[in-house]
Amino acid sequence: MNRTLTLAAAALALFAAGTVSAHQGAKGVVKQRMDAMKDTSERMKSMRASIDRGKERNAESLAADAEQIAVHAAEISKMFPEGSTSEVSEAKPEIWQENAEFLDLADMMARRAARVAEMARVGTEDATLQAAFAELGESCKSCHTKFRMKKQ
């Protein structure tokens, strides 16, 4: 195959992957952070369900989920190296143009997740825990609104 044909085939393969699922087309650090965000989101769902059980909540798994989210948050600074966009990535260029603000939001997410973990461990009353969990959810939204584009 000549070079032009090879490139065309590669472009087609990329296009096909992108239409199936963002994750299948993602590679390297883009795939890593998508997986970390996905894990974060799954943990948020199980935390929501656990918190809604009130006194019956599983404090240990709630705290463990929140702690893992804090770990993901702490890794955000490494998972968005300058210019790491791709066909399938939803990362906006603002991440690097306004990097201090982006990293502040990652810090906020880490602190709020750690706070939820702490509250789960000490058995903080429901209303306070609910509020702390809602604040953690707000930190996702404030970053996504400014720094993530919605594809598809």
Q: State the nearest-atom distance from the C-beta of 39 to ligand HEC, in Å.
A: 9
How far apart CA 92 and CA 147 sit, in angstroms, is 5
Does residue 105 bind ligand HEC (CB under 6 A)? yes
74 sits near ligand HEC (criterion: CB under 6 A): no
Q: Is 102 a binder of ligand HEC (CB under 6 A)?
A: yes
Is residue 34 at the binding interface for ligand HEC, with CB under 6 A as the rule?
yes
**Can residue 50 be called a binding residue for ligand HEC (CB under 6 A)?**
no
Closest by alpha carbon to 28, among 72, 74, 77, 88?
88
Q: Does 143 bind ligand HEC (CB under 6 A)?
A: yes
CB atoms within 10 A of CB 49: 12
Radius of gyration of the chain (CA): 19
At 115, list the tokens.
Answer: 């706070």
Six-digit token string for 22 = 């963002």
Q: From the list 25, 33, 51, 62, which residue makes contact with ligand HEC (rule: CB under 6 A)? A: 33
Q: Which is nearer to ligand HEC, 6 or 136 (CB)?
A: 136
Residue 27 binding ligand HEC, by CB under 6 A: no
From the list 124, 131, 133, 28, the residue with the least C-alpha distance to 84 is 28
**Of these, 63, 69, 129, 132, which contacts ligand HEC (CB under 6 A)?**
69
> Residues binding ligand HEC: what is the number (CB under 6 A)?
26
Q: How near is the Cβ of 129 to ligand HEC at its closest, in Å?
A: 16
